[in-house]
Amino acid sequence: MNDAITDETLVQTAHRVLPAGNFGNFASDIALARGEGGHVWDTEGREYIDFLLGSGPMFIGHAHPEVTAAVLEQVPLGTTFFTNNPHGIRLAARIVDAVPCAEQVRFLASGTEADMYAMRVARAFRGRDKIVKFEGGYHGMSDYSLMSLAPKRPGNFPLAIPDSPGITARVRDDVLVAPYNDADHVVKLIEAQHDEIGGVIVEPFQRLIPPVPGFLEALREVTARFGIPLIFDEVVTGFRFAYGGAQSYYGVTPDLCTLGKIVGGGFPLSALVGRADIMAHFDKAKVGEEGFLMQLGTLSGNPVASVAGLATLDVLSQPGVYEKVFALGRSLMEGLTKVLNEKGLPGQVVGEPPLFDIVFAEGRMRDYRDTLRADAKLAAHFNRHLREAGILKGDSKYYVSLAHTPEDIARTVEAFAGAAKAL
């Protein structure tokens, strides 16, 4: 340990050297030191069943032996080169084989970068400036993405509302916002303004909310009709809902999609993939100087991240993997629902078996505005009691992994019932 922090606690040091005492991701009162399988341990040695999973990447579990072996084999050979490397090329080929929309791949280091470049290449391809996104949809931290992510006072559609200071008014003029799961609304919006629209970006599964039947299909039809690139943000859902991602799971193929989290095996790696004619804008020889979109990244296709991604996909391509994850997730969803019903609590489980949470509100949950009815204080009560009982999750998600066990599920349901009793 550095001598500078020997006379203060780790939490005190964090608050001295980090804004808000954290990395911007999670509360400052916990620091994790180790993970194995579906469990993690904090710096005080406390063990937790982990439904945070590093915000999703650790889908096959922490320190998976196949991933660890691949990384340890590569590290002595070099950790980054900036040039092509064989592992990155093989990972790109594996993605093309797996993901329905993928004809070509560009690697980046974060989901934010992937989503930013997806919108940029769509605008380059179309020669139009405006992007359609959906209220409550999360697409990273770029200016475009932070329009109407979580407005406290939602405005009138399609007016975009900036969710962060520092975003210029000009960005607001280039973003059109629609309600998720309202096919009629977004179809009419695109029909009316198609000449100005460069692309449409959507989480096929928005945060926790599944698409209603026909919504993604309607979005696919109207964008195809006007030649507008449809972008699926699959940073979260890629390789989680199915080996081919949410587009495979829901049966709707976009023109572009973004991948992250799982595809890097826990290392900083993301990807933008899609149709070759759109991806051609990254190739000056094909589109010329005027159409060329420069994209550089020091760590893009990093060999260590690539071998971790390849090892992860090796595991996920084995028979029965997704059936196991879905069975575990479904068991947890059913157990939590049973407690809610038995205790008469105003809540419902929303999501799909690999990714869901309890929304403490009654009635439909079809879009962002429906979620505003949720009781945040009640959710915080349960999250706090779960953590005290050794269950770690984010504020609004249970991520289920291949490494979780039926015993983990039973303990989690028992802890949730204890939190309900404490009310």
Q: d(Cα 397, Cα 393) in Å, to the nearest integer?
A: 7
- List the catalytic residue out of 115, 182, 233, 357: 233
- List the catalytic residue out of 138, 249, 250, 399: 138
Confirm whether 117 is a catalytic residue: no
Cβ-based neighbour number of residue 169 at 10 Å: 7
Q: What is the DSSP letter of 71?
A: H
Contact in structure between 356 and 398 (CB atoms under 8 Å): yes
Confirm whether 398 is a catalytic residue: no
Q: d(Cα 395, Cα 26) in Å, to the nearest integer?
A: 9
226 HSE (CA, 13 A, CB side): 23
* Alpha-carbon distances of 195 from 128, 223, 335, rounded to whole Å: 8, 12, 49
Q: d(Cα 308, Cα 410) in Å, to the nearest integer?
A: 31
Pull the structure tokens for residue 154.
Answer: 């939602």
- List the catalytic residue out of 133, 261, 393, 397: 261
Confirm whether 357 is a catalytic residue: no
Q: What is the DSSP letter of 37?
A: B
Q: d(Cα 10, Cα 16) in Å, to the nearest integer?
A: 10
| Amino acid letter, 264 | G
Element (H, E) at 81: none
Where does 7-57 show beta strands of DSSP type E? 32-36, 39-42, 47-50
Active-site residues, by number, are: 138, 233, 261
